[in-house]
Amino acid sequence: MTTILEQGNITIHTENIFPIIKKALYSEHEIFLRELVSNAVDAIKKLSMVSRSGEYTGDISNPEIEIKLDKDKKTLSVSDTGIGMTADEVKKYINQVAFSSAEEFITKYKDSAASDPIIGHFGLGFYSSFMIAKTVEIDTLSYQEGAEAVHWSCDGTTEFSLSPSERTTVGTTIILHLMDDEEEYLEPARIRQLIKTYCDFMPVPIKLAGEVVNKHEAPWKQSPSSLTDEDYLEFYRYLYPFQEDPLLWIHLNTDYPFVVNGILYFPKLKPDIDITKSSIKLYCNQVFVTDNCEEVVPRFLLPLRGVIDSTDIPLNVSRSFLQGDRTVRKIAEYIAKKVGDSLKALYRDDPAKYITSWQDLGNFVKFGSLNDEKFKEQVKDILIFRTTAQLGDATETAKVEVQTEEGDAWSEVSEAAKPATDADGRFYTTLSEYLERNKEKHENRIFYATNEATQATYVDLFKGQGLEVLFMDSFIDTHFIPTLERDYSEVKFVRVDADLDETLLDKEKQSEIVDPATNKTRDDQIKEMFETALNKPRVNVKPQALKGENAPPAMVLLPEQARRMQEISALIQQQEMQFPDDHVLMVNTAHPLIQNLLGLSQSTIIGAGGGSSPAGELATMICNQVYETALMAQKGFDAEGMKTYVERSNTLLTKLTER
């Protein structure tokens, strides 16, 4: 017959504590395993501390936690080789709900705790077991010399029993008698999954059916110098299986003014990545807390992946939610600064890797600059853009090649103004380098393109006249360019399809007067010809002579300010930008097609007396064809527009081949 040492009531502040624990304190029942294993890890760490202090001389060389499942008895047990408890400690730390032994222990062994921190600080974790168990037992033996093993049992009410135990090994076993609707926790696969989720990196081997099932080593707790690139990649592949390898990573490691460890990875940005949702896993002393780090990580770094581990991030009592405070903000600022410093170091030490990663990395950097002023100051000198300039071989000085009509022109520039290449041979430059290279040609002006394919004609026109163009073609650049303009207030940013730069115009080909009676020029005739043919009052036809044999016969231009107003309106209304009816058709009067077209029309696009001459009809068709071909560089046609364009093309070709 079992001898009962004592019976009594658990000291609590309210009779409703168990319903609160079961229904409100913890959001998920599965949390019980995390709490019990965390307590077991703490118990093992405590025994290690008292051993180092000389208070315990037993063997601590093989610490472990063992989980056993018994489907017949419907029990789940968690055993540790930790410090154990005496009867008095059971009464003090178990029977008084929310009395955390961790706080008292840390106070006593604070020097050891500083280097090997205790996980639990709340004292409620053990009671999470009553979410799934109708009865919970504790079988424990303290490390203290002469201590007697004790057995504690409670059925989820405020009553408990405490009796002697036959246990002979130091440590503790928690036995859960599961409720009928919680038998999923008797399945080994389910327990393995929970261990991997919550306990994988706890610093003690966890056994199930005699097999160690957790990694029990956290790479982020190790020194960066002890890890190879393959170690970092292997850890990433383990956390995010079936994903492409990351671009690069950053190892966080600080203990002042707060403790933060972690590894953050920059993934390749894919269309299916939600840049507003965090994928970073938050740990506290290697215990998984949540994969939602939105309060800890600055908003622009949410697409990063990896792990952050901190004991200074305040969690609520269930460890499920962050409690935002000044410390959290400071940690977020530290992470942002660490990311900025690491990117600057990469740009300095390995520019080739930085540039190769820029297609994905650039969006992080730009988004950060838009959202964080301090981060923007950090990275402003490492913002790079793809450029049409190219770096040539040079012995003593760097030379930049710019395509011109006469051939390849080379200009000497300082070492600081050289563009650099990525793995595909594409050239990149900073804004300061661009301005330095081009100060003699167009000081304080930056020409840029937002779509290499649709704006190819415009880019070629600029390149043909030796003007360097930057590509600002990522999805974020539309919002980023105004930020650059504020930072470079003395610089004018001009998109290549806006008003044409004076450098592109052939001022020597002035339009001569062809009708002395009215002072009408050839340009006036071309303007009237197109206006009549198009019959679009909101299209501003602007005849101008362009330099270069390869300059197109016409270009559709969107004045910079008008286009930006349209973009802002579309953004506010959360709609796709509609191409404005008010735009400029720049007709290149130096192009042979335009000159021939004017001769064809003979100023009679619409024949006298209201009839149409064959030449006039053909000229009208060609005018529309020239306009719509130029328009293609700015907008796609709808079905009806494309049908009209194709039919007119076929008709034109037919007429031009008639004999």
pLDDT number for residue 95: 76
**Pair 362, 385: CB distance under 8 Å:** no
Q: Which residues in 285-414 belong to E strands, given as ranges?
A: 287-290, 305-309, 385-387, 390-392, 398-404, 407-413
Total count of domains within the chain: 4
> What radius of gyration, in Å, describes the C-alpha atoms of the chain?
37
The sheet carrying 469-471 orders its strands as 420-421, 427-429, 385-387, 469-471, 445-449, 492-495
Does the pTM surpass 0.85? The reply is no
Q: Does a structural domain hold residue 311? A: yes
pLDDT number for residue 394: 32
Q: What is the mean pLDDT of residues 42-69?
A: 92
Work out the pLDDT band at 609, boundaries 50, 70, 90: very low
Length of the chain: 659
| Tokens (6 digits) for 39 | 């307590």
The sheet carrying 65-70 orders its strands as 6-9, 159-164, 150-154, 133-141, 171-178, 75-80, 65-70, 206-208, 211-212
Residue 302 bridge partners (DSSP): none
Residue 555: closest CA among 534, 594, 580, 586: 586
Same domain, 545 and 479: no
Q: Does a structural domain hold residue 377? A: no
pLDDT tens sequence across 74-120: 999 999 999 999 999 998 888 765 444 444 534 554 554 445 454 44
CA distance readout (Å), 153 to 4, 79, 104, 161, 162: 11, 16, 24, 5, 7
Q: Which of 4-8, 28-32, 557-561 has the lowest mean pLDDT?
A: 4-8
Pairing status of strand 279-284 against strand 305-309: parallel
Query: How many beta carbons lie within 10 A of that of residue 305, not counting itself?
Result: 22
Full DSSP string of 434-466:
HHHHTHHHHTTEEEEES-TTTTHHHHHHHHHBT
Domain with residue 128: its CATH number is: 3.30.565.10
Q: Does a structural domain hold residue 518? A: yes
Peptide bond into 257 cis (omega under 30): yes
pLDDT number for residue 123: 47
pLDDT number for residue 391: 55
**Pair 314, 323: CB distance under 8 Å:** yes
Q: Does a structural domain hold residue 501? A: no
Rounded to a whole number, what is the distance in angstroms from the first to the last CA of the chain?
Answer: 121
Same domain, 195 and 84: yes
pLDDT tens sequence across 468-506: 999 998 888 888 988 999 999 999 999 998 878 888 888
Same domain, 647 and 630: yes
Q: Does a structural domain hold residue 532? A: yes
Q: What is the mean pLDDT of residues 445-467?
A: 89
Residue 43: closest CA among 202, 217, 245: 202
Work out the pLDDT band at 71, boundaries 50, 70, 90: very high
Host domain of residue 634? 508-656
Q: Which residues in 83-185 belong to E strands, given as ranges?
A: 133-141, 150-154, 159-164, 171-178
Q: Is the pLDDT of residue 514 over 70?
A: no
Q: How far is Cα 362 from Cα 246, in angstroms, rounded to an integer?
A: 14
Same domain, 54 and 189: yes
**Amino acid type, 203:** P
Count of alpha carbons within 13 Å of 218, Cβ hemisphere only?
A: 27
Q: Which residue has the higher pLDDT, 337 or 601?
A: 337
CA angle 267, 269, 274 (to 5 degrees): 100
pLDDT number for residue 25: 54
Taking the CA atoms of 602, 605, 608 and 614 in sequence, report the sign of the dihedral they define: positive
Q: How far is Cα 64 from Cα 171, in angstroms, rounded to an integer?
A: 10
Same domain, 532 and 648: yes
Same domain, 325 and 471: no
Q: Does a structural domain hold residue 545? A: yes
Taking the CA atoms of 489, 494, 499 and 504 in sequence, report the sign of the dihedral they define: positive
Work out the pLDDT band at 22, boundaries 50, 70, 90: low
| Tokens (6 digits) for 659 | 């004999």
pLDDT number for residue 106: 40
pLDDT number for residue 31: 85
Same domain, 169 and 226: no
pLDDT tens sequence across 123-146: 467 888 888 999 999 999 999 999
Residue 535: closest CA among 594, 606, 610: 606
Work out the pLDDT band at 233, boundaries 50, 70, 90: very high
Element (H, E) at 652: helix 639-656
Q: Does a structural domain hold residue 98? A: yes
Q: What is the mean pLDDT of residues 636-644?
A: 85
SS3 assignment, position 557: strand
- 3-state SS track over 169-196: CCEEEEEEEECHHHHHHHCHHHHHHHHH
Q: Is the pLDDT of residue 262 over 90?
A: yes
Q: Which of 372, 396, 420 is the last residue of a domain?
A: 372
Same domain, 180 and 247: no
**Pair 267, 246: CB distance under 8 Å:** yes
Q: Which of 306-310, 412-416, 490-494 has the lowest mean pLDDT?
A: 412-416
Domain with residue 338: its CATH number is: 3.30.230.80
Q: How far is Cα 131 from Cα 30, in angstroms, rounded to an integer?
A: 9
Residue carrying the six token digits 């410093």: 341
Helix ranges (H only) for 357-507 are 358-371, 373-379, 431-437, 439-442, 456-464, 477-487
Same domain, 351 and 435: no
Region for residue 609 given its phi and psi (left: phi exceeds 0; alpha: psi -120 to 50; beta: otherwise): left
Contacts of 467 (CB under 8 A, 6+ apart): 402, 438, 441, 442, 447, 501, 503, 504
Q: Which residue has the higher pLDDT, 417 or 475?
A: 475
Q: Which of 461, 496, 531 is the last residue of a domain?
A: 496
Burial class from Cβ neighbours inside 10 Å (0-12, 13-18, 19+) for residue 378 reads: buried
Q: How far is Cα 528 from Cα 260, in angstroms, rounded to an integer?
A: 71
Q: What is the mean pLDDT of residues 551-564?
A: 83
| Tokens (6 digits) for 355 | 């540039």
Q: Does a structural domain hold residue 503? A: no
Query: How many beta carbons lie within 10 A of that of residue 303, not counting itself?
Result: 21
Task: Pick from 196-200, 268-272, 330-334, 504-508 the range whose average pLDDT is largest.
Answer: 196-200
Burial class from Cβ neighbours inside 10 Å (0-12, 13-18, 19+) for residue 357 reads: buried
Same domain, 486 and 515: no
pLDDT number for residue 636: 76
Query: How many beta carbons lie within 10 A of that of residue 242, not counting itself?
Result: 5
Q: How far is Cα 482 from Cα 448, in angstroms, rounded to an integer?
A: 13
pLDDT tens sequence across 349-385: 988 889 988 888 888 899 889 988 999 999 999 999 9
Q: 175-209 burial string, b = 16+ CB within 10 Å, else e? A: bbbbbeebeebbeeeebbebbeebbbbbbbbbebe
Same domain, 483 and 586: no
Same domain, 199 and 103: yes
Q: Which residues in 218-274 belong to E strands, given as ranges?
A: 248-254, 260-266
- C-alpha dihedral, 317 to 336 to 480 to 304, nearest 10°: -60
pLDDT number for residue 308: 94
Q: Which residue has the higher pLDDT, 563 or 595?
A: 595
Q: Which of 182, 197, 212 is the last residue of a domain?
A: 212
pLDDT number for residue 271: 57
Residue 254 bridge partners (DSSP): 260
Domain with residue 595: its CATH number is: 1.20.120.790
Contacts of 559 (CB under 8 A, 6+ apart): 498, 499, 584
